[in-house]
């Protein structure tokens, strides 16, 4: 029997929503096979990574604080990806956002007041947006490929972080450890559910994503973003400026990533440390794709990726899998999604070997 | 400066430059065909771990390098299948390949952490390879000479051969290349597999020559430096060679600066230099745009023959 691909007249909406589910299920299956082949408990690994975090209520708070930054960053990136603007330096914008907010925190250290925390968040957002403005400027003025420039800037930002931690921003009472002072109570995002680690950044991230959804779906600006990405020529005729769209997409992507950065610094970390870049900016790209560049899809995808993070930690202690095992599952989800993507535009046609024999 | 110190610094620079040169020369061919593979780091790690596993179990470094090459090529085939046959997004696929390679290599290498293998050293007689001065020429692993030969070969291939011309045509204008009867997808597959092979050997250089051991994320982000290097070189093999040794020198200086507590330039500034220099070169290329030195026109654009 042969399988042929036949182009659909219109992309299939069913497949558009079904393929992410197929991708996750295929990942669980293939993951079990791969881990068994390498000599681990394959089924156990899939259970610990995908199921345990969901059925153990104690892990839900971990899911929340891991999903929030992923969802926030991915949502910002989705604006760009829809407009064909490939900002893949969200990790760098996340770091700079965290650093900008930390700068405010260190400057206001020892002070008290309700205004400190909002100022930190504003600084984070502006910091991330300004850092994304560099590739936007290079792209619009000099046609420099934004994929390459934003990626390079990520590594520059990490070195800047190391420099600040080792030198100027080092905690003077910190026994020479390369990290900043602990933020004070006025500089830390409060817990919203007492007794848990769920901080104010989690609901804020969700609210921002929902606002983004409304903007993307209902406003002229959202329409412009989609048109520039899907039909650049039509966008030009319609009077939509490609340059303005690039600027908007980059600033939103950078701003959201920067905000996620300061939420992390003022949330789970409570200070700035060299271990701050945890790869959320890169994982968020998987989230954006898995969520089909749609805010609601991104929320679901963010939770799935958060499950794999938390599950990876569980499997590390219970099965002794290396920390990077979760990465295998995360990458496979994207592989399977990209592979099944073709089902959105093409239809599988099954034909028996007898009839396909005459096809030269 | 003392001779011995100078020679050992020079040799350290060669050691730091060789793997990024190899990986970059592979990626150069990939990008010349119009494909951007961001999975270099992942393919290098897969090469590094498989090569190390074969070397420790068989004691055959050449076999180890061949296996590493094949393993990394398998990874690049996966990339090729997704991006070329299924026309998936190249940026996303490449990133996924890097994340996948980091995870898979950590998992496969678990039982090899802490083991060492014999250094895959010079094939020249010890009279030359260990000579106090001449070792600066003869004292390297065969991979070093291989990287130089490959650079010359790729330069020749791109400029003087018909196949090289076809490769460039496919990268600059896929539709025209297709209409005069060349297989765009076939050429791109070949380029992607070559990129995988080079990345695999580059990875091996870390686990068999430089360290020689296996630890998680052994290549420490050098795959991204290799990517930067391709852009820095403006897609030209000659400049790529110069750039590789320049980046290698900066990375060596960074290590020495860190060790010596050198206080004039922050080591972090040196570490950021290759990336900053690459952005500067990108901007400069566009400023004096003649068209000839810029990125291949079809970079990251998918191609579907019947579309």
CB contact under 8 A, B86 and A339: yes
Query: How many folded domains does chain A comprise?
Result: 1
Query: Domain for residue A18, yes or no?
Result: no
Residue B110 in this model has a pLDDT that exceeds 90: no
Query: Domain for residue A7, yes or no?
Result: no
CB contact under 8 A, A152 and B106: no
Q: How far is A210 from chain B (nearest CA, A)?
A: 25
Query: Domain for residue A4, yes or no?
Result: no
Of these ranges, A222-236, B49-63, B264-278, the one predicted with the greatest mean pLDDT is B49-63
Whole-prediction pTM value? 0.90
Q: What confidence tens digit (pLDDT) does each residue in A193-245 have?
A: 888 888 999 999 999 999 988 988 888 888 888 888 778 788 888 778 888 89
Q: Which residues of A touch B106 (CB under 8 A)?
A: 322-325, 327
Query: Domain for residue A223, yes or no?
Result: yes
Q: What is the C-alpha separation between B25 and A358, in angstroms, rounded? A: 44
CB contact under 8 A, B286 and A156: no
Q: Does B78 touch chain A (CB under 8 A)?
A: yes
Q: What confidence tens digit (pLDDT) does each residue in B129-171 have?
A: 888 888 888 889 999 999 999 999 999 999 999 999 999 999 9
Return the DSSP state at A258.
Answer: H
Per-residue model confidence (pLDDT) at position A358: 41
Closest CB to A334 among B96, B110, B221? B96
Closest CB to A324 among B88, B216, B224? B216
Q: Does B220 touch chain A (CB under 8 A)?
A: no
Q: Which residues of A touch B89 (CB under 8 A)?
A: 289, 338
Query: Domain for residue A279, yes or no?
Result: yes
- In percent, the amount of chain B with pLDDT more than 70 equals 96
CB contact under 8 A, B275 and A156: yes
Return the DSSP state at A57.
Answer: G
Strand partners, A3: A350
CATH number of the domain bearing residue A309: 1.10.3470
Query: Domain for residue A30, yes or no?
Result: no
Q: What confidence tens digit (pLDDT) does each residue in B177-210 have?
A: 998 889 999 999 999 999 999 999 999 999 999 8
CB contact under 8 A, A159 and B269: yes
CB contact under 8 A, B266 and A323: no
Residue A359 in this model has a pLDDT that exceeds 70: no
Query: Domain for residue A352, yes or no?
Result: no
What is the band of A13 on the pLDDT scale with cuts at 50, 70, 90?
confident
Q: What is the C-alpha separation between B24 and B150, in angstroms, rounded? A: 11
Distance, first Cα to last Cα, chain A: 16
CB contact under 8 A, B224 and A334: no
Q: Which residues of B touch A87 (CB under 8 A)?
A: none
Per-residue model confidence (pLDDT) at position B262: 65
CB contact under 8 A, A286 and B96: yes
User: B205 near B143, Cβ under 8 Å?
Assistant: yes
User: A259 near A121, Cβ under 8 Å?
Assistant: yes
**What is the distance of C-alpha B95 from the center of its chain?**
16
Q: What domain range includes position A97?
A: 68-321
Q: What is the C-alpha separation between B205 and B201, in angstroms, rounded? A: 6
Query: Domain for residue A57, yes or no?
Result: no
Chosen from A90, A335, A337 to mutate, greatest number of chain B CBs within 10 A: A335
Q: How far is A201 from chain B (nearest CA, A)?
A: 27
A320: left (phi over 0), alpha (psi -120 to 50) or beta: left
């Amino acid at each position: 029997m042969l399988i042929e691909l036949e182009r659909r007249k219109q992309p299939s909406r069913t497949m558009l929503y079904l393929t992410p589910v197929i991708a996750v299920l295929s990942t669980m299956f293939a993951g079990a096979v791969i881990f068994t082949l390498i000599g681990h408990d394959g089924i156990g690994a899939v259970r610990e990574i995908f199921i345990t975090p969901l059925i153990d209520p104690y892990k839900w708070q971990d899911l929340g604080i891991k999903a929030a930054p992923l969802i926030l960053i991915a949502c910002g990136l989705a604006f760009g990806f829809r407009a064909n603007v490939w900002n893949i330096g969200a990790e760098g914008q996340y770091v700079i956002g965290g650093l900008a907010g930390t700068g405010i925190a260190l400057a206001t250290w020892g002070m008290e007041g309700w205004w400190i925390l909002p100022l930190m968040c504003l600084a984070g957002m502006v910091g991330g947006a300004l850092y994304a403005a560099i590739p936007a400027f290079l792209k619009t003025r000099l046609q420099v490929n934004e994929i390459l420039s934003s990626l390079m800037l990520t590594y520059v930002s990490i070195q800047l972080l190391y420099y600040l931690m080792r030198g100027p921003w080092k905690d003077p009472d910190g026994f020479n450890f390369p990290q900043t002072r602990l933020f004070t109570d006025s500089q830390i995002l409060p817990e919203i559910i007492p007794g848990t680690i769920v901080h104010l950044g989690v609901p804020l991230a969700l609210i921002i994503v929902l606002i983004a959804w409304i903007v993307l779906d209902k406003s002229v600006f959202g329409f412009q973003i989609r048109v520039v990405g899907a039909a650049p020529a039509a966008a030009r005729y319609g009077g939509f400026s490609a340059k303005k769209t690039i600027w908007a997409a980059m600033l939103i992507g950078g701003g959201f990533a920067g905000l996620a950065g300061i939420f992390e610094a003022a949330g789970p970390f409570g200070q700035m440390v060299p271990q701050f870049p945890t790869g959320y900016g890169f994982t968020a790209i998987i989230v954006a794709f898995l969520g089909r560049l749609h805010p609601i899809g991104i929320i679901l995808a963010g939770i799935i990726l958060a499950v794999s993070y938390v599950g990876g930690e569980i499997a590390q202690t219970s099965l002794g899998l290396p920390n990077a095992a979760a990465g295998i599952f995360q990458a496979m989800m994207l592989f399977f999604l990209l592979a099944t993507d073709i089902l959105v535009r093409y239809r599988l046609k099954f034909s028996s070997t007898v009839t396909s024999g005459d096809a030269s | 400066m003392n001779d011995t110190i100078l020679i050992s610094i020079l040799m350290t620079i060669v050691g730091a430059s060789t793997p990024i040169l190899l990986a970059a020369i592979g990626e150069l061919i990939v990008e010349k065909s119009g494909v951007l593979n961001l999975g270099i780091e992942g393919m290098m790690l897969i090469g590094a771990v498989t090569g190390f596993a074969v070397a420790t179990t068989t004691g055959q470094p050449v076999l180890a390098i061949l296996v590493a090459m094949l393993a990394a090529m398998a990874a690049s085939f996966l990339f090729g299948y997704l991006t070329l046959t299924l026309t998936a997004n190249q940026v996303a696929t490449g990133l996924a390949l890097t994340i996948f390679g980091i995870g898979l290599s950590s998992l496969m290498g678990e039982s090899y952490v802490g083991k060492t293998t014999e250094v895959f050293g010079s094939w020249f007689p010890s009279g030359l390879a260990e000579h106090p001065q001449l070792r600066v020429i003869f004292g390297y692993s065969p991979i070093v000479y291989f990287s130089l030969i490959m650079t010359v070969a790729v330069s020749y291939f791109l400029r003087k051969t018909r196949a090289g011309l076809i490769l460039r045509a496919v990268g600059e204008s896929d539709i025209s290349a297709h209409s005069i009867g060349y297989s765009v997808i076939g050429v791109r597959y070949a380029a992607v597999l070559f990129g995988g092979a080079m990345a695999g050997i580059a990875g091996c250089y870390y686990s068999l020559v430089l360290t020689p051991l296996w630890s998680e994320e052994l290549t420490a982000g050098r795959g991204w430096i290799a990517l930067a290097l391709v852009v820095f070189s403006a897609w030209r093999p000659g400049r790529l060679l110069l750039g590789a040794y320049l980046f290698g020198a900066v990375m060596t200086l960074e290590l020495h600066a860190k060790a010596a507590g050198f206080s004039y330039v922050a080591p972090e500034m040196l570490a950021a230099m290759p990336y900053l220099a690459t952005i500067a070169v990108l901007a400069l290329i566009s400023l004096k745009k003649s068209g000839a030195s810029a990125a291949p026109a079809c970079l990251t654009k998918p191609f579907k023959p019947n579309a």
